[in-house]
Amino acid sequence: MVFSRSVIYCNQNPRRESSQMLSSTKRAEVALVSVFSGVILIFFLVYCIIDFRDARSDNLLNLQNQTIGMVSWVDRNLDLTKLAMHAVAEGAPSDCQQEEISSIVGRLLRTVAVEEIEVRKHGSTVCVWKPPVDAFFSSGFCQSPRSENTVVLVSAEGGNGVVAVAHADTRCLLTPFLVSQRDARTEVHLAAGFDDETGGRPVRRVVAFPETSWWDAHAEVAVHSAAWPVSVGVSVPETVLLEAWAQRLPVHIGLFAVLGTVCWFGPIAMMRRRISISGQVRGALRRSEFFLLYLPTVEIESGEWVGVEALLRWRTRQFGTLPPSAFIPWLEKSTLIHDTTNWVMTQAAKDLKRLRETNDNIYVGINVPPSQLADERLLDAALTAFGGDGSALNRVMFELTEREMVDYNSAVVQDVVNRLRAHGALIALDDFGVGFSNIACLRSIRVDVIKVDKSFTQALGAQDFGSASQNPALMDMVVKIAREFDVRVIAEGIETKSQLADLQSLGIRLAQGFLFSRPVELDAVVSHIKERQMMAEAS
């Protein structure tokens, strides 16, 4: 009986090729996470900067409105002071009796502190009135510290030609504001009166804010009175504004946390799935990026191609064509192995149908990992691909790749193997001699074929027999084991004619290797079989 197989993966340095793809996928995933985190962080920082700018502007606008209120309060009191001075000018006697002026000031000026009132007539000073020290309208009752440029001269002329000029201390007008602003850590500054005239026009004094260091910077707001030579300024530390904005920071953090979570489990999760190996495998199945190449199984004596080994390849956009060893070791441990095996069986079934149109005796084998051998879905997938009749699998051989430990005595494995054999399938052991529990497998389940690992074949004719795995005598031992268990042998990895001669001397009839052919496409297999048939007919 002749036979062949199709495999899902090669065994040529799978660790290096798999690590390359895994590392590339890991780098892509790390890059995606880094970019996502960076974008969220940048947006958060930009949002915080804009929000802080807006919050700072709002706070300064609020301070400006308060300052405007202070200036309005000063204007009203200075207007009232002017009315009081008019009353003094109208009613003040020539001898400027203190009691009468005190009566007028006490009656009209309840909120303005007056340092002195000068009464003039015809340009000459008649008298100067000073408030009693214990009077409530005395500047001595001001709670704010005395500073320069806080006194405003308020004058009014009576009908009798008398002019009264009050020296009003405006700092006292801001005392209640100073008290209320102190809790907000603000400082109120005042500039009253005019500087020297420039070009014939008086220049209002500018508020002189105290100098501060860069680490203690202050934001400043100044408002000038339109009616009186008074300017009021408010200075607030930038740290106060920052602290006020920081109270809103937890809300912003919560907002961006929700936004980041939605994006992470939404579009970012979709992108991560797509760039992950599982996502790329799903995409490859969907986009038909997988394809099969075939390595022939040759009958040594006649040179006939009695079967083919289908090698799964993956043609990716980024890495080009990948060998199975770059992704199958990972795939075997994932849930996608079932989907990939289904694809291999479906494609192999189509190709087998075409091959049997040329040679009805040709076989195809499907390589399955031990985990799938314990999955009852394997039989359903095989019957779906190759047909559901009783002999649907009589041209199919399932090879067991012993890269992992498996309990061949389990009820599930025994049931799957028996049902596969009941439909005509052959069972083979791949990489015999280097896997797990080869002999135990031969004793547990009925095996039809063993495929000797290429390390035994390539040791034939070698000069260095230092290790047991390289000793050619081991090949003879494998042949004896095969005869004892009544199974057939396929030698893998034949590359030289001397190796082929040694195999013939051991009685091995079937072999694979680059000495006969490298993996080729299905059309090349069909063409080779037809050429051999034409040569046979011609002879």
Query: What are the tens digits of pLDDT across the range 94-110?
Result: 556 677 777 887 777 87
316 CB-contact burial (10 Å; exposed 0-12 / middle 13-18 / buried 19+): middle
What confidence category does residue 527 fall into, taking pLDDT thresholds of 50, 70 and 90? very high
Check residues 491 and 215 and name the one with the higher pLDDT: 491
Closest C-alpha among 193, 225, 104, 204 to residue 117:
104
**Alpha-carbon separation of residue 94 from 106, 118, 131, 327 (angstroms):** 20, 12, 18, 113
Q: State the amino acid at position 355 in one-letter form.
A: L
Question: Would you state the pLDDT for residue 467?
Answer: 44
Question: Would you state the pLDDT for residue 276?
Answer: 65
Residues in Cβ contact with 231 at an 8 Å cutoff, skipping those fewer than 6 apart: 190, 191, 192, 204, 205, 206, 207, 222, 223, 224, 225
- Grouping H, G, I as helix, E, B as strand and the rest as coil, residue 154 is strand
Domain edges within the chain? 29-246, 276-538
Question: Would you state the pLDDT for residue 273?
Answer: 59
Please write the tens of the pLDDT for every residue from 393-418.
888 888 887 666 677 778 888 888 88
Question: Would you state the pLDDT for residue 198?
Answer: 54
Question: Would you state the pLDDT for residue 30?
Answer: 77
What confidence category does residue 141 fall into, taking pLDDT thresholds of 50, 70 and 90? low
pLDDT at 121 over 50: yes
**Alpha-carbon separation of residue 415 from 373, 405, 407, 477 (angstroms):** 10, 18, 13, 31
pLDDT at 9 over 50: no
Check residues 218 and 434 and name the one with the higher pLDDT: 218
Q: What is the DSSP string of 213-279?
A: -GGG-EEEEEEE-SSSSEEEEEEEEHHHHHHHHHTTHHHHHHHHHHHHHHHHHTHHHHHHHHHSHHH
Average pLDDT value over all residues in the chain = 79
What confidence category does residue 76 fall into, taking pLDDT thresholds of 50, 70 and 90? very high
Check residues 123 and 306 and name the one with the higher pLDDT: 306
Check residues 97 and 358 and name the one with the higher pLDDT: 358
Please write the tens of the pLDDT for every residue from 327-351.
777 777 777 788 888 888 899 999 9
Question: Would you state the pLDDT for residue 49?
Answer: 92
Please write the tens of the pLDDT for every residue from 273-309.
556 667 777 777 778 888 888 888 889 988 899 888 8
pLDDT at 136 over 60: no
d(CA 202, CA 49): 42
What confidence category does residue 135 fall into, taking pLDDT thresholds of 50, 70 and 90? low
CATH number of this structure's domain 276-538: 3.20.20.450
